[in-house]
Amino acid sequence: MADSTVTIVGNLTRDPELRFTAGGKGIASFGVAVNRRWQANGEWQEKVSFFNVTAWDTLGENCAASLTKGMRIIVTGRLEQREYETKEGEKRNVVEIVADEIGPSLRWARAEVERIARDSGGGSSSSGSAAGAGNAAGGRAPDPVYGDEEPF
């Protein structure tokens, strides 16, 4: 069965909240408001949709370190439905976006990208240097997708 892939562009409704699982993986949660505006019968109509987004592991950690409420971002991910129980014992269902990629929208803003060096374990490293940091011979494990080639 194929995943339901979505891409949204909108503004963060709150700062990303970073938590960690018992195993040490980071998970960031935040909201995105997507505005839609159109003209009908000579009058402008507007509708806002709100989406909850979760980002796991280094993606979540980088989101928490980089994004703040109000920023315009692009999110690509998959839709997931989950069920939970409230404190009052009521069962609820929620559909959220589990992010695969997140980035700033550059339509009305500029961004500076800082490349994070990875350690050989594949985890995040906050002591890494900026863009152009090392290659596989310099102590970093080759990327499983790009090998020794820099992705950008």
Q: In terms of domains, do 98 and 119 share one?
A: no
Q: How many CA atoms lie within 13 A of 51 on its CB side?
A: 25
Chain segment 131-144, per-residue pLDDT in tens: 333 444 445 555 55
Q: In terms of domains, do 121 and 68 share one?
A: no
Number of folded domains that form the chain: 2
Q: In terms of domains, do 30 and 84 share one?
A: yes
Task: Give how far Cα 133 sits from Cα of 40, 118, 125, 126, 151, Å.
Answer: 52, 9, 12, 13, 12
Chain segment 36-88, per-residue pLDDT in tens: 999 999 999 999 999 999 999 999 999 999 999 999 999 999 999 999 999 99
Q: In terms of domains, do 33 and 98 share one?
A: yes
Domain range for 26 = 5-109
